[in-house]
Amino acid sequence: MTRIVFKCTGCGREYTIPMLRCSKCNSLLEVVADKKWSPRRNTYNIWRYETMLPKLNYKFSLGEGWTPVIESKWYSRLLGLRILFKDESRNPTGSVFDRSSAIISSYILSTKTRHRTVVVASDGNMGASLLAYLANTGIEVKVIVPRTVDEGKKAQMKLYGGHIIEYGDVLDEAVDYAVKLSLEKHYYNATVEYNPLARIALRTIAYELYEQAGKPNTIVLPAASGTTAYAVYKGFQDLVELGLIDNTPRIIVVQTPPYPSIASLIESVSLPYTSTQSIPGLTYRQPPLGSEVARIVKKTSGEAIVVSVEEVYESAIQLARKEGLLVEPASAAVIAGLHKAKKLEEPVVALLTGSGLKMLASYIERRRGKSIYHVPTKTMILRIIGEEEEIHGYAIWRKLSGRITPQTVYQHLSELKEMGLVEVEVKNRRKVYRLTSKGKQLLEVLSSLET
């Protein structure tokens, strides 16, 4: 029977059930594993690094890992640095968390008794991933999502046959509820933030980067719960301890309003945004590994950068149009962060954690039978701007009741600007839009025609 031991990094106490922190000293728990650098030749999934991972009887894979490292064309020229993209959207379900699902599902399938019910708190990515990996196993997966979860990700989970429970407005609340269920109902808790197996799986990103491109001097990641940033740093630390590299790269994490908690833990970081707008996947009030990531950022002479919601969506559009990479907003935050970093030491790796194709599902779902599409979208946007003296792009999206994605709103705004119908001005580091005289005239003509 497979037995995994989780050891406290503080007092050394050992546990056999997944927990985030030691009940005695509150230090993080880590998986006990004997690490040996011996990548398996001709294996191009997470099990290439079998000797760096816990020993499991069953090793399941859908082809996760060994995602491409892509040389940037446009951003490298723009910033005058060598920029590389590590594209995790190429994983089977389009998310970095397929790595975690491979290890966790292998563990569950390796146990003699097998856990019959698994609970996972997720903003959509880990939920969809675990459902895919445990499909057709007879194991029930209950996914706890915040009420603000993206409809596209919810649609993906439903296609996998998931039992979805909406709880809370932010991911913190969903995570707490998953922990409660796991304790009360004895469900296996596969939540990324609370299961050390998920973190050790994410270390393989560092191993792959070392093999594919050598050690980067800087790596930029979305902060979210802090789990991925922490795990990638620990992966590079493994390589240092094995004598393969001399030091770890600088760690730069990127956050968005309204909860830039990690940035606020780092001395002298300015927080210019007070917006209540948020990005799906980055809406933690208190990131579970926030204090650890803040220490890592300081230790590596890194940065914690805060970017606005508008900057994130504009970066997503720019990345698609300039580099041909379609990513979800949480990944696009990294691109927005590149523009604001004080010091980037090349080569720089930008970690793209999830696919933007997931967002298209919500677009398609909303399009069915919605009255907004009886009127050209650009006309609707012009009317909304005309009702206000000036308005932010995100506010326009809200007035559209979320029937199209924010990226689409910004795409329309960009095209309306090129047509000379709207103008844009930066106020308090945020873009505001207003109608030009040409735009006002067009609205008057349209109103006359309708009358």
pLDDT tens profile 353-369 = 999 887 665 544 444 43
What distance in Å separates the CA atoms of residue 91 and residue 205, rounded to the nearest whole number? 12
Question: For residue 266, what pLDDT is reported?
Answer: 80
H helices within 388-424, ranges in order? 393-399, 406-418
Choose among 149, 232, 227, 152: nearest CA to 190: 227
Give the type of residue at 180: K
Comparing 169-173, 252-256, 441-445, which segment has the lowest mean pLDDT? 441-445
Share of the chain above pLDDT 90, in %: 59
Least confident of 60-64, 114-118, 437-441: 114-118
Please check the confidence at residue 280 and state whether its pLDDT lies above 50.
yes
Structure token digits, residue 210: 């070392």
Kindly report the backbone phi and psi dihedral angles of residue 410, in degrees, each rounded to the nearest multiple of 5, phi listed first.
Answer: -65, -30
DSSP string for residues in 364-392: HHHHTT-GGGGS-HHHHHHHHHHHSSSEE
pLDDT category at 399 given cuts 50, 70, 90 is confident
218: left (phi over 0), alpha (psi -120 to 50) or beta: beta
Q: pLDDT-derived band of residue 412, with 50, 70 and 90 as boundaries? A: confident
- 361-368: long-range pairs with CB below 8 Å, 24+: 361/151, 361/152, 361/153, 361/155, 361/156, 362/150, 362/151, 362/152, 362/154, 362/155, 362/405, 363/152, 363/404, 363/405, 363/408, 365/151, 365/152, 365/155, 366/151, 366/402, 366/403, 366/404
Q: How far is CA 324 from the centre of its chain?
A: 19
Lowest-pLDDT range of 90-94, 234-238, 329-333: 329-333
What distance in Å separates the CA atoms of residue 322 and residue 79, rounded to the nearest whole number? 14
C-alpha to C-alpha distance for 400 and 372, rounded to whole angstroms: 8
Taken in order 312, 313, 314, 319, is the CA torsion positive or negative? positive
Residues paired with residue 84 on neighbouring β-strands, in sequence order: 71, 349
Question: pTM value?
Answer: 0.81
Report cis status (omega within 30 of 0) of the bond before 347. Answer: yes
Amino acid 443: pLDDT: 83
- State the DSSP code for 92: T
* Overall fold of domain 369-450: Arc Repressor Mutant, subunit A (1.10.10)
234: pLDDT strictly greater than 90: yes
Q: What is the pLDDT of residue 427?
A: 85
Give the model's pLDDT for residue 449: 61
Give the pLDDT confidence of 176-186 residue by residue, as tens digits: 999 999 999 99
Task: Tell me the pLDDT tens digit for each residue of 241-261.
Answer: 999 999 999 999 999 877 778
Tens-digit pLDDT profile for residues 311-340: 888 899 899 999 999 999 889 999 999 999
- pLDDT for 215 equals 95
Nearest CA-CA partner of 125 in 133, 114, 116: 133
Phi, psi of 354, rounded to the nearest 5 degrees? -155, 155
pLDDT at 269 over 60: no
- Give residue 195's region: left, alpha or beta (phi > 0; psi -120 to 50): beta
Say what the pLDDT of residue 364 is: 46
Check if CATH label 3.40.50.1100 holds for domain 69-93+198-359.
yes
Q: Confidence band (pLDDT; 50, 70, 90) for 120?
A: very high
**Chain center to CA of 271:** 21
Question: For residues 169 and 180, is the Cβ–Cβ distance under 8 A?
Answer: no
- Token pair, residue 166, equals 């909406």
Q: Do domains 69-93+198-359 and 369-450 have the same CATH topology?
A: no
Determine the residue type at 444.
Answer: E
Q: What's the confidence (pLDDT) of residue 133? A: 97
Residue count of the chain, please give it: 451
User: In the chain, what are the domain boundaries?
Assistant: 69-93+198-359, 369-450
CB 274 within 8 A of CB 257: yes
For residue 372, what pLDDT band results from cuts at 50, 70 and 90? very low
Give percent helix, percent strand, percent coil of the chain, each to the nearest 5: 45, 15, 40
Q: Is the pLDDT of residue 270 over 60?
A: no
Among candidates 94, 103, 4, which has minimal Cα distance to 61?
Answer: 103
Using DSSP bridges, classify how beta strands 69-71 and 83-87 pair: parallel, antiparallel or unpaired.
antiparallel
Measured distance CA(124)–CA(323) in Å, rounded: 26
Q: How much is the pLDDT for 112?
A: 62
The pLDDT value recorded for residue 450 is 58
